[in-house]
Homo-oligomer: A and B are copies of this chain.
Amino acid sequence: MPAPVPRQKRATIFDVAAEAGVSRGTVSRVLNGEPYVSASAREAIEAAIAKVGYVRNTAARNLATQSSGAIALIVHEPHSVFVDDPNIGAILLGINSSLSAADYQLVSLIIDTERDSQRVTGYLGGGFVDGAIIVSAREGDPISQAIADLRLPAVMIGRPDNQPQLPWVGIDNRGAAEQITRRLKATGRSRIGMIAAGLDRDSGRDRLAGFRDALGDGYDESLVSRQSFYTHDAGVAGMAELLRVDPLIDGVFAASDAVAVGALEALASAGRRVPADVGVVGFDDSAWARRAQPALSTIRQPAGDLGARAAELVLEQVRSGSPAADGVLLPTEVVWRDSA
């Protein structure tokens, strides 16, 4: 970064001390609400603080205490997904509420380019945060490696695969996928396909694995369309592909609600009725699911809880100074609506 102009000088503990006629040590004590300060001194100091408009320089405090009171959330999503990933927002809010309750500041860092990645790494090592939460890490993510190297307390949301050993919190994608696929099958469908996505991360792979588990011998590789991202477009393309491969397909498990909505559209264009001709199920229970036509049967993911739990896990590590438990799995739920 280019050398910026230093900000206007503000009052320091020094000024407060002078104004109140006490030493800096005493000022520090009242600032930190410590005992052993006379009422008169406290009063004088409080008056002085107000008078000189003192605001504590937390950065300096950190240097002295060797801790910052902040936790980073690192979001690493491709541009296209980020803007309408339904989970990110809920996770964020969940993390924030846990952290907030413990008086920690959440700072969210987004990684969109290689350059960002470098800079964020520096930031994490720079003493600005006491810990980090990583969302949507991918295989061989340089950030998780850096965090491991820095020995920064951290937690991943979503079970990592080839990642360095970091604790994580996630859902049982595989089990949930199996469950909803079975349910779909139980509606009497016999030619069930899947629009898979995000296969470069655990969630995507596990959902596919669960689908396979549910179908057992009936699993047909050709009825799986592999898409890159959990997007609406992926759903449109994937459904078109599936219809081409098997025009008689009568059931589809989409890897996410956004994908499912895309599939719904493609089915409509192809003149198929849902659920009469084809049953469709999604994953996430995002806003899309409720508003889709017809409303989507899907898996409810406890996004807020995921965040909250992750936050608790980092704080635990920060406080104890030692790594936390391996991983925790939060329960999901099948939400059955009209699309299947």
Binding site for B on A (CB under 8 A): 1-8, 10, 53, 55-63, 65-70, 79, 82-84, 86, 89-90, 92-93, 96-97, 100, 102-110, 112-113, 115-116, 119-120, 122-123, 125-128, 130, 149-152, 232, 261, 265, 287, 291, 293, 318-321
Known: A57-B126, A108-B108. 8 other contacts (CB 8 A): A4-B130, A56-B125, A58-B122, A70-B128, A84-B86, A105-B109, A108-B110, A265-B291
Do A92 and B106 touch across chains, with their CB atoms under 8 A apart? Answer: no
CB closest residue in chain B, given A58 = B126
Do A59 and B59 touch across chains, with their CB atoms under 8 A apart? Answer: yes
Do B69 and A59 touch across chains, with their CB atoms under 8 A apart? Answer: no
A66: which B residues are within 8 A, CB to CB? 6-7
A7: which B residues are within 8 A, CB to CB? 66-67, 130, 151-152, 321
Do B60 and A63 touch across chains, with their CB atoms under 8 A apart? Answer: yes
CA distance A67 to B62 in the complex (A): 15
Do A93 and B79 touch across chains, with their CB atoms under 8 A apart? Answer: yes
How many Å from the CB of A291 to the closest CB on chain B?
7
Q: List 30 A-B contacts (CB under 8 A).
A: A1-B69, A1-B103, A2-B319, A4-B67, A4-B69, A5-B318, A5-B319, A6-B67, A7-B321, A55-B125, A57-B63, A58-B126, A59-B128, A60-B63, A60-B127, A79-B93, A82-B89, A82-B92, A84-B86, A92-B110, A96-B116, A97-B113, A100-B112, A100-B113, A100-B119, A105-B119, A105-B123, A108-B110, A128-B128, A293-B293
A93 with B83, Cβ < 8 A, contacts A105-B120, A109-B107 known = yes
CA distance A187 to B53 in the complex (A): 59
How many Å from the CB of A250 to the closest CB on chain B?
23
Do A126 and B59 touch across chains, with their CB atoms under 8 A apart? Answer: yes
Do A1 and B104 touch across chains, with their CB atoms under 8 A apart? Answer: yes
Do B59 and A62 touch across chains, with their CB atoms under 8 A apart? Answer: yes
A150: which B residues are within 8 A, CB to CB? 10, 55
- State the number of copies, please: 2
CA distance A293 to B291 in the complex (A): 11
Contact partner of A89 among B83, B103, B119, CB < 8 A?
Answer: B83
CB closest residue in chain B, given A268 = B293
How many Å from the CB of A111 to the closest CB on chain B?
9
Contact partner of A100 among B65, B103, B115, CB < 8 A?
Answer: B115
A232: which B residues are within 8 A, CB to CB? 287, 291
Do B320 and A127 touch across chains, with their CB atoms under 8 A apart? Answer: no
A58 with B320, Cβ < 8 A, contacts A2-B102, A108-B107, A110-B96 known = no
Do B112 and A96 touch across chains, with their CB atoms under 8 A apart? Answer: yes
A293: which B residues are within 8 A, CB to CB? 293
A109: which B residues are within 8 A, CB to CB? 105-108
User: By CB atoms of chain B within 10 A, which of A96, A125, A128 has the most?
Assistant: A128
How many Å from the CB of A96 to the closest CB on chain B?
5
A116: which B residues are within 8 A, CB to CB? 96, 100
How many Å from the CB of A21 to the closest CB on chain B?
25
A318 with B89, Cβ < 8 A, contacts A107-B109, A126-B58, A128-B58 known = no
